Structure 1
Amino acid sequence: MILYGSSISPFVRKVLAFAAEKGIALDNQRVGIADPNPDFRAASPFGKMPALADGDYQLSDSSAIIHYLEAKHPAPALIPADPELRGKTIWFEEFADTILFACGARIFFNRVVAPRFLGRPGDEAVALAAERDELPPILDYLEAVAPSGDGYLVGDALTLADIAVASPFANLAHMGLGADSERHPKTRAYVERILARPSFAPLIAGEAAMLEKIPT
């Protein structure tokens, strides 16, 4: 199976980590947004990452890809069968993909993507407003629900919820941002533990090395 996209995207990183936790081998072919690569565009008609090609089967959108992988490779289960646990898992993925990502994207785009990848200044006022006004309430919510010790967001094992919520924090970490150890100690410890897993750590290290080579 081929996964198109760069893991600097939280959505691509989420799929790669999900697949790694399930032991699914993906050939990650790095492409950018709206890349003209014809195979990528065939799998993603609107040029958005990630996109999947499994033989003749093509699919885009991280959530769609993850549900496809879960159905095709059900063990180990990362989306619970129990209705209540499944509902919570899908909620956390939606929270991560919309609320958390939207905030982080306003910061990351204007401080990293625009100046480093697009060669133009970002809007620091937009980034600052997101960091100052949007991020703290999100972290406050996570602090209220984050597990203590070695726990997980849903049930007693790793699920898609943990993978989805942790992934955007890697982008924040690339900018020196994230949960504060005094105000959000549970969130900080939880996120660091999930991102240290073998499914995430090599991806994040590779991203950091790549960003170091690109002038600010």
Structure 2
Amino acid sequence: MIIYGNSLSPFVRKTMVFATEKGFEFELVAPQAGGEAFKQASPFGKMPGFKDGDFLISDSTAIITYLDAIKSEPNLIPTEPKARARTIWYEEYGDTIVAACSGTMFFNRIVSPRFFGRPGDLAAADEAQKTAFPKVADYLESVIPASGYLVEDRFTLADIAVASPFATASHAGCPLNPSTHPKAYGYIESILARPAFAKLIVQETQALAATAQREPA
């Protein structure tokens, strides 16, 4: 199996963590190194792309759906109807609401200056941190059960999908505040401490430190 992408993307990170938690062996390949296979897997050039033998597909949710279908255990997507629906809702919350906010900060503070060599829109990043981020954090603070897991009092895709874009926000200089959002802070810290996440976070932090000198003066 090959996952095309970079784990700094919350969608690639989500896919990698899901695959690791499921026990799959896979190789991470940068899109530019993927050649024609990546283009076939992801015709619009979006990460992640995926290859398993002659099967090619893109989009984190599509890839995760495939992985879950070919290996049902450990069960990370509940089968009970209400729990399954909640899991998909939390994936949507992570993929669209949280990722939109964290992506604005990460792109303008990190990607644009360090990878594209041009200043980002820091005003947009600051506005996202000031206005949007507190709202997504407030919601998470309000829904975390006493168990510390979002669905069925156990680790599921919901936790993976929500934690991943919050990791991106932290990389962008906007971690959760333990004073204002203690439950959300403790929850994200706990999920990101899982080995599948923790290894990636260390690698990402090191990679970002190495790019710091690329920022334009």
1:178 and 2:175 are equivalent in the alignment: yes
2:88 alignment counterpart: 90
* Deviation for aligned residue 1:85: 0.1
1:157 alignment counterpart: 154
1:7 and 2:4 are equivalent in the alignment: no
Aligned positions of 1:53-72 closer than 5 A: 53-72=51-70
1:127 alignment counterpart: 125
CA contact (8 A) 2:145 2:153 kept: no
Instruction: Please give the per-residue CA displacement for 1:41-91, whole angstroms capped at 9, x wherever unaligned.
Output: 111000000011000000000000001100011001100000000000000
Structure 1 vs Structure 2 CA RMSD: 1.2
Which contiguous aligned blocks of 4+ residues in structure 1 show a shift greater than 4 angstroms? none
Give the TM-score taking structure 1 as reference length.
0.95
1:167 alignment counterpart: 164
User: 2:31 is aligned with what amino acid?
Assistant: V
2:200 alignment counterpart: 203
Unaligned runs of 5+ in 1: none
Counterpart CA distance in 1 for 2:145 and 2:15 is 23
The aligned length equals 213
CA contact (8 A) 2:102 2:172 kept: no
- Which structure has greater helix proportion? 2
* Deviation for aligned residue 1:30: 2.2
CA contact (8 A) 1:108 1:171 kept: yes
CA contact (8 A) 2:163 2:192 kept: yes
**Correspondence for 1:50 among 30, 48, 61:** 48
State the percentage of identical aligned residues. Answer: 52
Counterpart CA distance in 2 for 1:79 and 1:52 is 20
* Deviation for aligned residue 1:151: 2.4
1:31 alignment counterpart: 31
CA contact (8 A) 1:5 1:12 kept: yes
